[in-house]
Structure 1
Amino acid sequence: MSEYQYYEFQAVDRPLSEREMGELRACSSRATITATRFVNHYEWGSFKGNPSVWMEKYFDAFLYLANWGTHELMIRLPRKVLDLKTAKRYCCGRAASARAQGDFVILELSSEEEGGDWEDGNGWLSSLISLRADLAAGDHRALYLAWLLCVQNRELDDDATEPPVPAGLGELTAPLQAFADFLRIDGDLVTVAADQSPKVNGTSFELDVERWIATLPEATKTDWLVRLAGGKEPHLRAEMLRRFRESQAPRESRSGGAQRTVGEILTAAEECAEKRHREETVRIAAERARREREAAEQRERYLDNLAKREARAWEEVDGLIATKQPGRYDEAVKLLCDLRDLALRRGRGSEAEARLLRLREEQARKPSFIERLRKAGLA
């Protein structure tokens, strides 16, 4: 079986120059290269660049997918919107790590799953890229999910405590859910983590931001307006929201519970999985019982209608058999089964058996039909 490897890079804050695009083209003659994107996939060859170096020099996000089960994601952010200390507090293992390069912090995340699948990588990074702006704005839910990935991979000591739990883990956005799916983060771990996560109210959030802005010094607000009018700072809104969230952090931390250990979270996730499996078993059994009940009721209604035309149904059987066509034989046998069940329901099973016996004797020279009767339990 051939290999499949998918590479995609995206530039968000600054488009690539013609010179930079030329440098990328020197590494690949068939890749799709624009001022904001590099995309290529390989089935027999291999990527000739270095993703880590490219992230340092050119791009803000990178995604890699291979059909043997490897998923990788890198996100680059300016250090002024995500400091390295905060990033390392969450990305503290092999599956999720953080490093500084110049004025940037680069998050590196990976998931390995033996066997893999032939999954197209196209579209994945587009579904994840907005998380970069969320991180810049101080939304640390993606960072906490990255920490859960390290927990899931047993990369942390059981007595290690969790980092601050951000609000809104119980209401993952579509990009956050895609993030969890791409990195194969266990849903039960996320459910357990959400137990200590305050809820996010969109209306309340807007009102809180409005009230917070009203309390800011006039000099700060003037500075932001001047910088906004300049239009040269793509992360200005993110900087404002990050400062707002930092001002709310003490209140959010009081609303949550005590920090849990890795061992406690893993145990709780196992219990959550067991509960979910039990509930799923009950649900499946109830659904099966409902379908069986509906099928039985539908069968009874069908037999009620068949009773009204029983004599005509026996004539239909004779007509179907007379065609000597295999498909018609099948229809005849099905109708005979229905007539037998109708007779049994009425307590006239012996009468139906007598008619079937006569029918078998009359059609004894039709072995194909007789074999169908035998398989249906009518002979």
Structure 2
Amino acid sequence: MSEYQYYEFLALDRPLDEDEVGQVRALSTRADITATRFVNEYHWGDFKGDPTKLVERLYDAHLYYANWGSRRLLLRLPAGSLTAKEATAYAMDDALSVWTRSGQTLLDFSVSSEDGGECEFETSYTLSAFVGLRAELAAGDLRPLYVAWLAGLTVWELAEDDEENYARAVEPPVPAGLASLSGPQRALADFLGVDADLLAVAAEASRPATADVVDRTALAAFIAGLPAADKDALLVEAALGPVSPGPGLLARYRAAVTVPGPRDEIGRRTAAELLDTAYRRRTDRRQKEQTARVRADAEAQEAGLHKVAQGTEEAWREVDGLIAQKKASAYDAAVVILGDLRALEAHAGGTADFDRRVGELRAAHRGKPSLMQRFDGMGIPRS
């Protein structure tokens, strides 16, 4: 199996200094490295550094994927904007790990292929598709964390784990807006391989995203009611800090004004409930798609037969003209028309005339082995 690995790091809140760039350069001589970005592709060999330690010390985001199916997104946020306690509610084996280091909350979104087969990515991912998640999380939007939990549930289902575990596991708090994910959140769901039917089922218990739209007047009243010391601290942070205090303030406001949704009032669903409902939805959808395909095929065949019926002799002449071209594609087209002619005559009560005429065609063109093979494939008897 050919090898492909992609590594990318971004420093968003502050650039690396000259010494730090030198440290990273020592880990890779071929990477494209600046004070804010590291990117490299590997077709052989491997990265010598430890991505986890690099994000803990230097970078705010890391993206990795390999063509054998491993995928990883690491994000680092100030603990004041997203606490580990908040995020840990969504932690899930094989999908999301959470820890803190030096006043930072670290989120590790990771999934791996279990079959060891080669994985073809339809999209060439870069961190630009995901960095918006940091601002969303800092502002109190926890949809990325719930998406990660669903990714873990998808992996769990594929592993065919003990059904008792499904019945015991309960979903974390369901954030608003699951039915209308943002661009970075849709990219995350795709990157982590979240099952679309499972996401749709989970979204049934989610309030509309409009429920979290900030009322400017209400926000102003909330800020006016904050203690003076808190306001002073926010102003100092805005003046000196590398990170805007705005997202954290919005998260604080939303936490204060959020009212329970319908699912909060009646209890959260178990993993078993979600998986079973998603399975039924998936099965029903596939049956409807299959029925639609069968109907479309039948309508197409009926349309083809109707067209042939309007000019049977013209169809036979078209077959003669296609065979005369002595091309494989023309032979294929001729065989399609012959199939319609046979079906049309069979529908009318018999195929005697078709058998006679196609037998004459076989006799006249027996020196064309490619055409004879196609006739054999149609089941046209040899004379």
TM over 0.5: yes
The alpha-carbon distance between structure 1 residues 75 and 367, as it changes in their structure 2 partners (threshold 3 A), is same
Matched, 1:182 2:186: no
Q: How much has 1:78 moved relative to structure 2?
A: 0.5
The residue aligned with 1:137 is 139
On the 8 A contact 1:75/1:132 being kept in 2, the answer is yes
Distance 2:220 2:63 in 1: 37
Once the two structures are superposed, the pairs formed by residues 1-379 of structure 1 within 5 Å of their partners are 1-91=1-91, 93=93, 95-113=95-113, 114=115, 115-119=117-121, 122-152=124-154, 153=156, 158-201=167-210, 205-207=213-215, 209-217=216-224, 223=232, 230=239, 232-249=241-258, 251-253=259-261, 256-260=264-268, 264-304=270-310, 306-307=311-312, 310=313, 325=326, 350=352, 359=360, 363=363, 366-368=366-368, 371=372, 375=376, 376=378, 377=380, 379=383
On the 8 A contact 1:192/1:265 being kept in 2, the answer is no
The alpha-carbon distance between structure 1 residues 91 and 352, as it changes in their structure 2 partners (threshold 3 A), is closer
Distance 1:360 1:120 in 2: 47
On the 8 A contact 1:17/1:35 being kept in 2, the answer is yes
Amino acid at match of 1:192: V
Q: How much has 1:289 moved relative to structure 2?
A: 1.4
- In structure 2, list runs of 5 or more residues that go unmatched: none
Distance 1:333 1:116 in 2: 38
Larger radius of gyration: 1
SS in 2 for 1:35: coil
The alpha-carbon distance between structure 1 residues 371 and 9, as it changes in their structure 2 partners (threshold 3 A), is closer
Q: How much has 1:95 moved relative to structure 2?
A: 3.6
On the 8 A contact 1:10/1:59 being kept in 2, the answer is yes
Q: How much has 1:338 moved relative to structure 2?
A: 6.0
SS in 2 for 1:138: coil
On the 8 A contact 1:133/1:238 being kept in 2, the answer is yes
Distance 1:189 1:138 in 2: 23
The alpha-carbon distance between structure 1 residues 80 and 296, as it changes in their structure 2 partners (threshold 3 A), is same
Aligned residues: 367
On the 8 A contact 1:65/1:121 being kept in 2, the answer is no
Distance 2:245 2:177 in 1: 23
Task: Calculate the aligned-residue CA RMSD, in Å.
Answer: 3.8
Q: How much has 1:25 moved relative to structure 2?
A: 0.8
Distance 1:44 1:108 in 2: 25
Amino acid at match of 1:259: G
Distance 2:30 2:104 in 1: 30
Distance 2:195 2:261 in 1: 25
Q: How much has 1:259 moved relative to structure 2?
A: 3.4
Distance 2:315 2:124 in 1: 58
Distance 2:285 2:241 in 1: 54
**Percent of aligned pairs sharing the same letter:** 35
On the 8 A contact 1:92/1:98 being kept in 2, the answer is no
Q: How much has 1:337 moved relative to structure 2?
A: 6.1
The alpha-carbon distance between structure 1 residues 303 and 215, as it changes in their structure 2 partners (threshold 3 A), is same
On the 8 A contact 2:342/2:351 being kept in 1, the answer is yes
The alpha-carbon distance between structure 1 residues 278 and 227, as it changes in their structure 2 partners (threshold 3 A), is same
Structure 2 length as normaliser, TM-score? 0.80
Q: How much has 1:82 moved relative to structure 2?
A: 1.1
Distance 2:39 2:128 in 1: 12
Amino acid at match of 2:184: P
The alpha-carbon distance between structure 1 residues 279 and 150, as it changes in their structure 2 partners (threshold 3 A), is closer
Distance 1:216 1:271 in 2: 43
